[in-house]
Amino acid sequence: MKKLIMLCAALVLTACASVSQTDLINLTPSSTLSSSKVTDGLAFTLTSQDIRSAQFIAVIKHDGEEQAQPMHAKQNVRKAYEAAVYQQFFSQGFTMTKNSNNIVNVQVVDALATVSQAPVKYDIEGKVTLKITAETPNGKFVRTYTGSGTKSGSFTADKTDIEEVINRVSSRVLTTIAKDSELTKYMKGNF
């Protein structure tokens, strides 16, 4: 029995080691920072959820093959977007606290780069959807922000191409959130 447990443990460790760091996508969404504060220290509690149907950040589909190759992010996807959203609000003058009646929730609805790989060319389509809910005891503001982008090239898409698309689309969505005057007005007026 002891040998069986040792064998199972070795197999699990081998399986975990087979996904190397080089196979992971570097998800680095860029925050859009405000050059001037809209408020001074209004506090909120930040929460987040990853509600994507699949937990990979990219998928490669080879022409003529049924099986697709999923790729995961190096970072925790939920935390990466949460941190980027927080930096944006912090630059606007908001502060984060643990137990506030004012809650901002970030839901990662979609974050995926789909690579269509043909023998001599590739197409990458990226899509990111974030849902922001700003909730107070008096009500809530809910809005979904979606962005997409593409890239095509010759021969084979590499990890850098995939990272460029998913990060560019992520940054576009974050810019839309940062520039949403209705969201900022709601937070400023109700927090």
The per-residue DSSP string of 61-83 comes to EETT-S-EEEE-BSS-HHHHHHH
- Specify if 18 maps to a domain: no
How many domains, the chain? 1
- Asked if the model's pLDDT at residue 150 lies above 80, the reply is yes
3-state SS assignment for residue 131:
strand
- Asked if the model's pLDDT at residue 145 lies above 70, the reply is yes
Reported in sequence order, the residue ranges of 36-138 that DSSP labels E, i.e. its strands, are: 43-50, 58-62, 68-71, 95-96, 103-117, 121-136
- Specify if 17 maps to a domain: no
User: In the block, which residue shows the tokens 């927080």?
Assistant: 86
- Specify if 125 maps to a domain: yes
Q: What is the mean pLDDT of the chain?
A: 89
- Specify if 166 maps to a domain: yes
Instruction: Give percent of the chain above pLDDT 90.
Output: 81
- Asked if the model's pLDDT at residue 119 lies above 70, the reply is yes
Q: Of 52-66, 103-117, 162-176, which gets the smallest average pLDDT?
A: 52-66
Radius of gyration of the chain from its Cα atoms, rounded to whole angstroms: 20
Q: At residue 2, what are phi and psi to the nearest 5 degrees?
A: -65, -40
Q: At residue 181, what are phi and psi to the nearest 5 degrees?
A: -65, -30
- Specify if 26 maps to a domain: no
- Asked if the model's pLDDT at residue 21 lies above 80, the reply is no
DSSP 30: P
Task: Determine the Cα–Cα distance for residues 41 and 181; give it in Å rounded to an integer.
Answer: 18
Task: Determine the Cα–Cα distance for residues 110 and 132; give it in Å rounded to an integer.
Answer: 13
- Specify if 130 maps to a domain: yes
- What CATH number did the domain enclosing 63 receive? 3.40.50.10610
Give the residue from 183, 107, 111, 104 showing the smallest Cα distance to 147: 111
User: In the block, which residue shows the tokens 């697709």?
Assistant: 68
- Specify if 68 maps to a domain: yes
Tokens of residue 191, six digits: 């927090």
pLDDT digits (tens, 9 = 90+) for 47-86: 999 999 999 999 999 988 888 999 999 999 999 999 999 9
Averaged over 130-156, what is the pLDDT?
96
- Asked if the model's pLDDT at residue 7 lies above 70, the reply is no
Provide the pLDDT confidence category of residue 147 given band limits of 50, 70 and 90.
very high
Domain that holds residue 89: 39-190
Q: What is the pLDDT of residue 16?
A: 40
- Asked if the model's pLDDT at residue 184 lies above 60, the reply is yes
